[in-house]
Amino acid sequence: MTVNVRPVVPDDVERISYIEDRSFSAPFSKEMYQTMVKASPPFYGMVAVEDNEPVGYLFYSIGADEMELLTIAVDESFRQRGIAKAMLDEMIDLAGRSSVISIFLEVRPSNVAALLLYKSFGFEQIGVRKGYYKDNNEDALTMKKCLHLV
């Protein structure tokens, strides 16, 4: 089976919400995703699709010359198949073809798989946000990737 990455559409929200609820201890609501899908710009999303079914998603925002990765998740049964990598590749490629010079994100220190993925893409830790995640008061590591020299 081949996974394709395409822009998100409103019909994807139900499946995105399903994946979100099973991926995060403090998930975004379905209504939040409905709002983000309709609010493009400043929010943008993409889904990884297999057999016409979303199996992963990624949302980001762009402001001036900065991009922020807001969330990324892959259905548990499709993990470890390069799907998150494919979506990040697509997002970074889009950023590189625009005026974006820096990409930012926050990640839990306990999310080792995500940390390793982001580091493999050249993201570097630039700070810590104490008590950022309200479900367990876990800190967030802030990370940045520079795309262009300024």
- pLDDT by residue (tens digit) across 83-135? 999 999 999 999 989 889 999 999 999 999 999 999 999 999 999 999 998 88
pTM for this prediction: 0.92
- The arithmetic mean of pLDDT across residues 25-53, rounded, is 88
**Secondary structure class of 1 (helix, strand, coil):** coil
Q: Give me the number of domains the chain comprises.
A: 1
What band does 1 get if pLDDT is binned at 50, 70 and 90? low
**Cα–Cα distance, 91 to 52 (Å, whole number):** 20
CB-based contacts of 41: which residues, under 8 Å, 6+ apart?
A: 61, 62
**Secondary structure class of 56 (helix, strand, coil):** strand
Sheet strand arrangement including 4-7: 4-7, 43-50, 53-63, 66-74, 102-107, 138-146, 124-133
Bond prior to 54 in cis (omega within 30° of 0): no
Domain that holds residue 61: 4-146
Max mean pLDDT range (34-48, 116-130, 135-149): 116-130
CB-based contacts of 24: which residues, under 8 Å, 6+ apart?
A: 73
**Cα–Cα distance, 135 to 124 (Å, whole number):** 25
Give the residue with greater pLDDT, 41 vs 56.
56
CATH number for position 76: 3.40.630.30
- The predicted-structure confidence for 5-34, as pLDDT tens digits, reads as follows 999 999 999 999 999 999 988 888 888 898
